[in-house]
Amino acid sequence: MWQLYQFPLCPFTRKVRILLGEKDVGYELVREIPWTRRDEFLDMNPAGQTPVMVDGERGTVLIDSAAICEYFEETVDRAAMINGSAANRAEIRRLVAWFDTQFFRDVSQPLVEERMVKRLVLRQSPNAARLREAMKSAIGHLDYIDYLLDHRKWMAGATISLADLAAAAHISVADYLGGIDWSGHTHAKAWYSAFKSRRSFRPLLAERMSGIEPPSYYENPDF
């Protein structure tokens, strides 16, 4: 049985967990708050980041969410999520990198640091200007998603792919932390509404980070 080191509001872990759900791969959660920089965790992953997956029986350790997704894509045939031609696969990987790098830097990272880490780990007040900036950036990102979904059924083309999983992972963390204003983003909202009903995603929406409550509409597919 795989062990998955994570905390509930880690967007990179959410991406991996939705993929594992789609592929029906079982795992056991191990709570890890990377900001505490626990020695045993740093020995396993010098980058100090979640997610990390460990298969103790086989002695396999998987580190880095992109490497983990590629691993399960290569080893589990069910529910291919990096699919299509080589050019399609490049577009999927571009968009995954877009959410993991640009959306993370602009939106999910500042929200997690200001609203989660400062409250639960550092015991500090959030920086209101940085939060406002993140919420403004989120609007720009939803505009881009609207643009993509105006041309395509799913984020990277005609079928669901890892790009949708990455997008839902980051957006759900930002939404939990009150960083998403859905008004006016018709395509993005319809896409996310449908995504919320997926069997792979519902268990994640049901989890709570103790001490931080999401908005009332957070779990609701009709929002």
Alpha-carbon dihedral angle through residues 35, 31, 71, 44, given to the nearest 10 degrees: 60
DSSP 122-146: I-----HHHHHHHHHHHHHHHHHHH
- Contacts of a second copy in 139-158 (CB under 8 A): 144
The single residue among 64, 133, 146, 207 that binds a second copy, judged by CB under 8 A, is: 64
Q: 26: exposed, middle or buried (C-beta count within 10 Å: 0-12, 13-18, 19+)?
A: exposed
Looking at the DSSP bridge assignments, the partners of residue 2 are 27
The single residue among 18, 25, 62, 173 that binds a second copy, judged by CB under 8 A, is: 62
Distance CA 62, CA 154 (A): 28
Half-sphere exposure of 22 (CA within 13 A, CB side): 24
Q: 81: exposed, middle or buried (C-beta count within 10 Å: 0-12, 13-18, 19+)?
A: buried
Phi, psi (rounded to 5 degrees) for 37: 45, 60
Q: Does 80 bind a second copy (CB under 8 A)?
A: no
The single residue among 30, 33, 44, 66 that binds a second copy, judged by CB under 8 A, is: 66
As measured in angstroms, the least distance from the Cβ of 33 to a second copy is 19
As measured in angstroms, the least distance from the Cβ of 103 to a second copy is 11
Q: In the sheet that 60-63 helps form, which strands lie side by side, from edge to edge?
A: 27-31, 2-6, 52-55, 60-63
The single residue among 4, 68, 160, 177 that binds a second copy, judged by CB under 8 A, is: 68
Nearer to a second copy, 22 or 91 (CB): 91
Nearer to a second copy, 65 or 200 (CB): 65
Window contacting a second copy (CB under 8 A); options: 28-36, 56-64, 116-124, 193-201: 56-64
30 within 8 A of 5, measured Cβ to Cβ: yes
Nearer to a second copy, 54 or 180 (CB): 54
Q: Does 20 bind a second copy (CB under 8 A)?
A: no
Taking residues 81 to 100 in sequence order and writing x for each that binds a second copy by CB under 8 A, - otherwise, the string is -----xx-xxx-xx--xx--
Q: Name the residues that contact a second copy, by CB under 8 A.
A: 46-47, 60, 62-64, 66-68, 70-71, 74-75, 86-87, 89-91, 93-94, 97-98, 101-102, 144
